[in-house]
Structure 1
Amino acid sequence: MEVTRELRLERLSKKKGTAPIRLIFRWDNLRLRLNSSESCRPGDWNEKQGRVKDKPGTFADVTNTILDRWTRAAVDAHQDARRNGERWDVERMEAEIRVRYQRLAAEAKGTPVAELPALPTVATRPRTLLEYMSDWCDYMESKVSLRSGAGLSSTYRRRLRHLSEELEEFSKVKKYPLTFQRMDMHFYDKFQDYQLTVLGNKVNTFSGYIKNIKNFLYWCEERDLPTTSKFHRWATPEQYVGADFLTAAELRQWAQLDLSTSAVTAYLTEHFPPVPVTPGRGRPPLQVADHQERIAYARDKFLQCCYTGLRISDADRMGPQHIHGELIKLATGKTGIVCIIPFLDDDVFKPVALVEQYASWGLPTCLPDVPTLDDYLPHLARLAGISRINVTSRVGRKTFVTLKIYQGMSRTEVMLATGHQTEKSFIRYLGTDEKELLESYRRTARKGA
């Protein structure tokens, strides 16, 4: 969910000299515009931050609180939709946002819970696994190779689309319902029999389908869709091979990356060339300056995952209310388990300094949301000189786990921070740093007499 605010100068009141403030909500390629019922003078409006400037006579606190309340209502609504595996249309989202806003306003006034407006009970058909697979195909088709600058080949795109048709036919022939919860070993065995015995395909063909199904399910898992961990039994090798993570030195490189230089501007101009603005043609396209601002937010959002071990969906929800002294306490959106995370700075992890950078912004969350995070991470890795691994938002969580273990924390303590319940699931996030491993052995080795 991306929420922006704009001052409607075309409706400037000649009598009062004020213009209404409108909120724009964007999610799942949909857009909703709502009037906030607030207004201000153009000279009192901070366009970059989407807030009223804190000046005498502007009543900035009141107006900004109302705008933040709308934002929080929208973010909460979108998080609930994702948690339930639903994709709400504009009408459903508007109803949810309006009622949640009313509830937040009532709670601020101390209204008893019994008198709060009820959330909408609009019937929504849950989206199917194949519909999510169509979204995944759209996402894959939008990806661009950092090496060639080109997208996926037409052959590969057709192969991904064909996978959906293959699964649909398999479901009919084998009478096997395709749901996230049934992507277990039973599915694997059934699909293998269908491919090798019924269709007579070769093992390589079957393996290719499984590889793409696995990538699709991991994509769903990263977005907190209602997947089941059971698919890991056939998608993840049993042997431990070590997770991708950033070393302490690489993490410092990432944190120290200066994105305001002319070299970075030139790089972004090359990879995100300016797009001509056509008046009256919807939302203006992002320009280089916009990308330079967003890529800085993306750098810090990834650091937030590295410093806290949170999933990206939970990092997006983390707000000041989750910080309790020197601890962060946040219930994960995926499992509901409360993560207890140290909120302390050291020579590697600097969550306090990171949050303080944005404390004066008055955001409902600790850091700004970055809706296109995955688009910027490969570029950030290249700018930071990191080519050893493919950096995704999941690498942040794995970096936290691995470096905390090498700092000397026990697995149990780290699992309290990440919310893992079993070592089997936890171990998938633990990487191997051979240099640190040898140093650990040297520190604990017994000295000869």
Structure 2
Amino acid sequence: MATVKSLIRSNKINANGEAVIYLRYGHQQKVKDISSGIKIVASKWDEKNQKVNSIKGIRKTRVNESLFKSKMQSDLLVNTKIEQAKAKILEIARELQLNKIDPEVSLVKAKFIEKEIITPSSDYELIPLFKEFMDKTSKSDGTKANYKTAIYHLTAFEKTKLQSPLRISNISLEFIDNFRQFLHTDLVKPGGKEKGISDSSVGTTLKNLKVLLNYLKDRSYKVPDIINKIKVPRLEKTIVFLTEEEIDQLLSFRFSKEKYERVRDVFVLNCYTGLRYSDLQRLNKNHIHDGAIEMRAYKNQRDIYVPLTKRPLQILEKYNYELPSLSEQKFNNYIKEASKEAGIDKQVELIKTSSGNKSYEYVPKWKVITSHIAIKTFISLCGKKGISPKAVSEITGKSVEIIIKHYYGIDKETIKQQINHAFDYEKNLPYSGINSC
């Protein structure tokens, strides 16, 4: 009797924790694994029920309700495709038997692949697919905003350079070169005045275009095989963080609006916990055990363990462990306004590049403060206090390399203290004089 089950292979999980769903067809004590072409995050696979379950272990709350529903809808779509593929394999086996042909495993696999039952054959327009992907994704508001910007850039290129719908088949290295040049020199920014954007903005759009193309490829759209050849510029950015003195300044300031006080409290809390904003917003008393945060990260499903010191505990108690709820976009707007009012205005140097040309600009620190700066502040404070990068990696879920390269900032006073401590032995050395010419 022919059987089909769906599974993922533990030895086929890639570096991003993703795995392809296989359909294991069995007949006469022989089996053959057939790729479904569907790739998922391996930790979301429910082996017992042979289904994707992205909401397992996640408690539905008012804050994450829309994301919860989005994940359920996405799971339903994938699970439906899996069941359709399994049904098609059994249908192929039955057709062979009706024709008095043994539905042996290799033959059924070949017939399944030949039919290309899950491969969309039409050359779809790219921008509607991008919009559909953005609507379905459960990413943060900030990430969705970046997707929306990428769609704006592609739409502008379509209207200005192609004057016809941009299709999947248009994606080539020549297209990427032309699109990159357009973004650098010809793109008109909203408002209709300035032209061209920075290398950093170009890199973000190209990165998100690659995200879309990989998404389509995983769902068996016929995407040209150039994804890995699309080069995204990697720029060394200034690591901006708050010093302990600036945190004290924020905490002691009496704000003109209550919303600034609330957003200040959440920001400072995260300067001592380093949580992603999605995890910070769903944090509640159920996540606190023996004076530490214990929860599963929403983004990568990794376990988080953050011991709480006095200040973050006081803030949590102030709000009875139910933090003010704000979208990340509003949070970032309010924390800038609050930091400006509190006088967090030390000048920081920003480096911008466009078409490889660098420019330098000094801006007050409040202008660049976001929820992300709180994570950089936490990591930088950990470094100053002597906490190992490995321990910080376990807390934040970021690799040691990424932490050191993109998150760990160090102030001049810390550098001075470390140098003085390192060469402290010199003060006991006899002075022998320095010969001069």
TM-score, with length taken from structure 2:
0.49
- Larger-gyration structure (1/2): 2
Write 1 or 2 for the structure with the bigger share of strand: 2
